[in-house]
Amino acid sequence: MKAIILKRLRERSLLRRHPWIFSGAIASVEGKPKMGETVDIITAEGAVLARGAFSPESQITVRVWTFDPGEEISPEFFHGRLERAIESRRALMSGEGPCGVRLVNAESDGLPGLVVDRYGDYLVVQFLSAGADHWKGSIAEALSRLVPALGVYERSDADVREKEGLPKIAGVLAGNEPGDLVEIQEGRCRFLVDIKRGHKTGFYLDQRENRGMIAEFAREKQVLNCFSYTGGFGVAALQAGAARVTNVDSSANALELARLNAEVNRIDAARMENVEGDAFSLLRRWRDEGRTFDTIVLDPPKFAESQSQLLRASRGYKDVNLLAFKLLKPGGTLFTFSCSGLMTGELFQKIVADAALDAGREAQIIRRLTQASDHPTLLSFPEGTYLKGFICRTAANR
């Protein structure tokens, strides 16, 4: 028998169906399981509670596959879980044009460490945990049966794999290799996605619904899109009638793709300005120059990778939001986000409130934002809600 035995009274989170077991909760390991192999999870009193994947090099030593200790972890198990996840997104794949949609969202779909995104005729897969990597072949085979695709491309090159003791891997997993750019349709917008080299799996699908909301605040407005990546919010704003959008990003390649995204949407190039550089430095310079905008989007990268980085991350969020409030015209609108999972919604609100106070601006939250519906959060796994955002409206008069 391959199993982990929990320390006394350390099964409480499991009884609440949380899928992670940390190394500090384990009293002993039985049967010498190898990395990624399935183990039974047993209480100090001998009760078998669940079955999960063993990851000896990670602080999260076991990720639960099933809370039914009698359920076999097999190729059929993964086929069933994948089928359930994919069917729940069927409506998102029924629109006109090639879709961009998350088909599997890791723990929240009962498949810890597995991410599957669809971009048109291609699937992009990330195996981010030892267990998901162990079952890679069975998962790939099940996907090929469940979702017709020209090819499956692996993007297991995220830093988190190092915490699992796994190497970074990227390349064709099945079928054909995608071209340099794959086109998807999102509402009225078309986007070109760099599957092989882009951030995450190529595009920020989690912001789909939030991009759609910018139309309400963009018409005939001057819009600043910070940390713009390939211009998603900017293109959505321009399609909604924005007078002009300024994209800011540190990557010249991302901004070139933003330019191409404007081009495929037949947007007049004169209405989009792409500025390469550090957002903090540029915002400070524009503040000093007295430049202002009607609508500002702040969608920075993850500032906190660990609890020890949370204080520094909080300072970063405070600084960039303070600068944004300084650059907003009276009555302007701020879309502000944090994708740091360790940042709670309450703390993020406090940081944004402090930024407004220090900027001398009165502001209201008029809408709370989170990740798109194809990035669900399992009720027993609150960590799954990583994207927090607010739409803030400043007072018309200072």
Active site residues per annotation: 339
Listed as own residue / partner, the contacts of 250-258 with beta carbons closer than 8 Å and 24 or more positions apart are: 250/276, 250/277, 250/278, 250/279, 251/276, 252/276, 253/197, 254/228, 254/229, 254/230, 255/228, 255/231, 257/181, 257/192, 257/194, 257/230, 257/231, 258/228, 258/229, 258/230, 258/231, 258/234
Contact 170/157 with Cβ under 8 angstroms?
yes
Cα separation of 137 and 121, whole Å? Answer: 20
User: Two tokens at 229?
Assistant: 């990546």
- Between the alpha carbon of residue 338 and those of residues 238, 265, 317, 318, 377, the distances in Å are 24, 28, 8, 11, 16
- Cα(183)–Cα(121) distance, integer angstroms: 9
Residue indicated by tokens 């519906």: 373
Among 265, 233, 264, smallest CA distance to 247 is for: 233
Q: How many helices (H) and strands (E) does the chain have?
A: 11, 20
d(CA 398, CA 318): 20
C-alpha span between 79 and 141 (Å, rounded) = 9
Q: How many CB atoms lie within 10 A of CB 160?
A: 14
3-state secondary structure of 384: helix
User: 16 and 380 in contact (C-beta within 8 Å)?
Assistant: yes
